Structure 1
Amino acid sequence: MKISFKYISYFFLFILGISMTLTSCTDDLNVTPKDDDEFLSETFFQDPASYKQVLAKLYAGLYVGGNDGDGQADIAGLSGDFSSYLRLLFVTQELPTDEAVIAWADGSLPTLNTQTWSPANEFLYGTYSRASYHISLANEFLRQTTDEKLTSRGVDASLKAEIATFRAEARFLRAYSYVNLMDLFGNVPITTEADPVGFFYPVQKTRAEVFAFVESELKDLDSSLANARANEYGRVDKVAAKFLLAQIYLNSKVYTGTERNNEVATLCTEIINSGYTFANVPYAYLFSADNDKNGAQNEFIFPIISDGNAIRATGGGMSFIIHASIGGSIDAASRGMDGGWFGTRTRKEFVALFPDATATGDKRGTFHTDGQALDITNISTFTDGYAVTKYINKKSDGSPAQRTDIPDTDFPVFRVSDAYLMYAEAVVRGASTGNIATAVGYINQLRTRAQASQISSANLNLDFILAERGRELFWECHRRTDLIRFGKFTGGSKIWQWKGGTMSGVATESYRDLMPIPAKTIQANPTLKQNPGY
């Protein structure tokens, strides 16, 4: 069942004295109570129910920008809709790639379409700030749930045992935010519950040091997270920690200079055999409004939950992803929504990864072409570029979701299909802990579900893997990281329309494999050093 966000995750928690994890005393970055009547941490935690409420706040923070949907923003200076974690991940992981483009001209958003951003980009600042706030909240929860604190409050043994699992989940979510910061920005500070509360300048760490910290945390969590599938749907378990560890190992050459493909193949084998299963349902079921119960949920190791009635965030999470993809001749009602925002489409180079644009030779190639031009002559024109119809706010049988303004469709952060693809890539890259025949079998399971042609070991090379990751995982916030790992994000080895700011596309500078540390963040913590090239 879904976590009851309606009664838990909107419980507004502001903790007096916390500052943003990665900042100091610049006012627009401080995380402080909105008024004196808000909960103070010690008073708040006198209620035994408060511990799960804060845990739910951590999970809900992946979708919403504040405790009242998009209204009361967590971060001063950033509106709730624009500071939604999932929305910002989509903006940074998809818009700079061949998979997506957005028509809107809000602020410096257009520069993400063209890989021409600068340190002043407010969306990069929002991404950095959102992940940092998430870390701050996890740190404070860990400070407030030590054995000493719990004993002083008279917490009984059974609740203490439950809180121990909550703590492990908070550490996982903190690690997840560190991975996003490390991936996007490279060298970032590390703060934990052991650091002082208040204003100070946390020390910037190298990317390799952040990697080592996350690796250590995820390995340690294997002893404290819930067993596979023993937790509530939407909450993480040991398999999620293995998955995130496999992800950073897959990208280890980028992050640290050292390949870890043997570990990737080993972990993916453990994930695949953990009790989560490949969903033998139509591909479209994975992205429908009932994907928490139509069979797709068996594949979801870590979903971000959506609920039209409980999660009132019009501009956040999946509401943004689905609304923004509707425009032109698309009938919003047919997508289960109340309207379209005429925003996101894909580029013709991505369409070319599929055998056709009609989902005939591959059911994953779900494009709306009626009235849409394949070429993007003008980025600001929604009908330039094929629209994407991957996500829908209708149930898999075609019946309606709870509402049409905010979707019920959960977002799959980690799923078994990705473990199949990670295993195959590790093997192609030389992992001795896997084998080609098994990898081909995994890929062909994906392609059977997609009703695409089967492959043989002769087809399995790195170019095929990158293309297959696109076909299977597009618009799931992987593409930028994938392209960087394959050496195809910047430079001229892979060109797409409007890369570098011209319609035909041009090579871009390699330093853009890293986003700049936002200018406002450096203003707040002048000890931070900017990434080269910016």
Structure 2
Amino acid sequence: ADKNQIVGEARLIRAWAYRHLVNLYGPVPLSLTESSGVKTDYERASVSDIRNEMEADWLFAEANLKDAPLTQGRASKVVAEHYLSELYLEMGQYQKAKDMALAVINNPKYKLITVRYGVNKANPGTPFTDMFLDGNSNIEEGNTEVLWIMPNEYLSTGSETNLERRWWVNRYSDITVGGKKPITYSQANGGRGLGRFAVTKYAFSLYQTGDDRGGSFAWRFSYQMNNSKSLPTGSKANATCTSPGYTGGTLNDFVNLSIDCDEPLPTATYKQNWPSTRKWDNAPNDINDVQNTSTANDQIYIRLGETYLFLAEAQLGLKDLNGAATTLTTLRARSKASLVTAAQVNTDFILDERSRELITEEPRRYALRRAHKWFDRTKLYNKYSGQLIAQRDTLLPIPQNVINANLSKPMANNPGYN
């Protein structure tokens, strides 16, 4: 039993690695035995052959892993079932996708978070946003929704850190109002971000008024003035993208941001004024280390909310629109979003719902490619990269050093990259 547990975890990770490779590069070499020596004649296996091996790996893991992880950060049975549901969607096997999603959803150890809990329970917040707070990520901390966690530790030998804040939280210390820069990196403002990525205007437009996932506990629409040496005077009532709103010139007053324009391009002088997600703007692990762009907060890697979205997608594939509407309504209800009707359910609605629920969490490209919508939706909704892409970019190029190292057998690149 112990051997099968270990082999099951290893096979789960192997299939997980091929999940990324196939979604990014398409056909890749399929290696199922331990390598030794030098090999220079790799061949790219078909996507269908790779998926068959992924299925076998995850089915073995499902049969041999426990319902809950043995230790924090290790995978469990439900991780295999979650990924099998996704895999069957990619293979067009919708009944199997539905069955695997339901296996996770019906597991009594896991449920959607619908009530406040954890470290911030006594303060204002929402059930949805509670799970992203440091100290609320793990099963042991009351998170019934997390299926797989990536543990991190602060300044601990062998530990890792979470870079999401570095990527997604804006450089709010560059925000200027009244000719002053009144905001510095602080615990109250969520720590230091570098603003490598930004959310599109379209993504913001998807939230209804009252949907907790689009509210002020989920997004930073304002920052506290905390720089006593650079406080503005006067006030500006109406915020715009180029000119944030503010009142007074007193410490702890707020600077208010706006999404009244398209998302700013990387060259825009006002890009720091764009709101950013609060999923990753956790307070620094050390209040004296606010310059650190990384955090050691444990990261939710996959969670039950996405499993519900897999179920809805499978039900759509089975033409069970009423069932899909019920599934989506169940997920949306915990964030106080409106009910979904069968008439609303289609591929684009589910993709929009994935954005509302999983923005900055999911590898968005994978879901868009599965729906054959990556190119069209990126062109339509992304005002920056959407203007730069071509059809060939649906897959990434095989790295040239991989092609060069395959000395004994030519390896073709993906279409459009030769």
> Following the alignment from structure 1 to structure 2, what is the Cα–Cα distance between the partners of residues 426 and 336?
40
Identity percentage over the alignment?
23
> Following the alignment from structure 1 to structure 2, what is the Cα–Cα distance between the partners of residues 442 and 402?
45
Please point out which of 327, 333, 338 is paired with 1:448.
333
Say if 1:289 and 1:392, in contact at 8 Å, map to a contact too: no
Matched, 1:426 2:314: yes
Name 2:263's counterpart in structure 1: 376
> What code does the residue aligned with 1:286 have?
M
| Farther off after superposition, 302-311 or 227-236 | 302-311
Matched, 1:303 2:149: yes
Distance 1:271 1:377, change over 3 A: closer
Q: Gaps (5+ residues) in structure 2?
A: 116-126, 176-182, 222-255
- TM-score by structure 1 length? 0.59
Shift of 1:331: 5.5
Shift of 1:463: 2.1
Say if 1:300 and 1:415, in contact at 8 Å, map to a contact too: yes
> Following the alignment from structure 1 to structure 2, what is the Cα–Cα distance between the partners of residues 251 and 500?
24
Shift of 1:260: 1.1
Say if 1:375 and 1:385, in contact at 8 Å, map to a contact too: no
Name 2:414's counterpart in structure 1: 531
Shift of 1:390: 2.2
Matched, 1:183 2:69: no
Name 2:219's counterpart in structure 1: 367
Say if 1:287 and 1:410, in contact at 8 Å, map to a contact too: no
> Following the alignment from structure 2 to structure 1, what is the Cα–Cα distance between the partners of residues 201 and 33?
47
Name 1:487's counterpart in structure 2: 372
SS in structure 1 of the partner of residue 149 of structure 2: strand
Distance 1:494 1:416, change over 3 A: same
Name 1:343's counterpart in structure 2: 196
> Following the alignment from structure 1 to structure 2, what is the Cα–Cα distance between the partners of residues 490 and 513?
7
Please point out which of 129, 132, 146 is paired with 1:284.
129
Say if 1:348 and 1:386, in contact at 8 Å, map to a contact too: no
> Following the alignment from structure 1 to structure 2, what is the Cα–Cα distance between the partners of residues 326 and 408?
19
Matched, 1:386 2:231: no
Say if 1:393 and 1:401, in contact at 8 Å, map to a contact too: no
Name 2:235's counterpart in structure 1: none
Report the number of matched residues. Answer: 350
SS in structure 1 of the partner of residue 143 of structure 2: helix
> Following the alignment from structure 1 to structure 2, what is the Cα–Cα distance between the partners of residues 532 and 342?
33
Distance 1:309 1:243, change over 3 A: same
Shift of 1:261: 1.1
Name 1:49's counterpart in structure 2: none
Shift of 1:401: 8.3
SS in structure 2 of the partner of residue 392 of structure 1: coil
> Following the alignment from structure 2 to structure 1, what is the Cα–Cα distance between the partners of residues 336 and 141?
18
Say if 1:420 and 1:439, in contact at 8 Å, map to a contact too: no
| Farther off after superposition, 179-188 or 411-420 | 411-420
Distance 1:308 1:231, change over 3 A: same
Distance 1:523 1:342, change over 3 A: same
- 1:452-499 Cα distance to aligned partner (Å, 9 max, x none): 222233332222211111100111133111222233211477332113
Say if 1:234 and 1:303, in contact at 8 Å, map to a contact too: yes
Correspondence 1:322-333 to 2 at 5 A: 322-324=165-167, 325-328=169-172, 329=175, 332-333=185-186
Q: CA RMSD in A?
A: 3.0
SS in structure 2 of the partner of residue 302 of structure 1: strand
Say if 2:111 and 2:145, in contact at 8 Å, map to a contact too: yes
Shift of 1:383: 2.1
Matched, 1:518 2:399: yes
Distance 1:336 1:400, change over 3 A: farther
> Following the alignment from structure 1 to structure 2, what is the Cα–Cα distance between the partners of residues 220 and 402?
47
> Following the alignment from structure 1 to structure 2, what is the Cα–Cα distance between the partners of residues 276 and 379?
41
> Following the alignment from structure 1 to structure 2, what is the Cα–Cα distance between the partners of residues 333 and 368?
14
Shift of 1:345: 1.7
SS in structure 2 of the partner of residue 236 of structure 1: coil
SS in structure 2 of the partner of residue 341 of structure 1: coil
- TM-score by structure 2 length? 0.74
Say if 1:353 and 1:467, in contact at 8 Å, map to a contact too: yes
Distance 1:363 1:214, change over 3 A: closer
> What code does the residue aligned with 2:306 have?
D
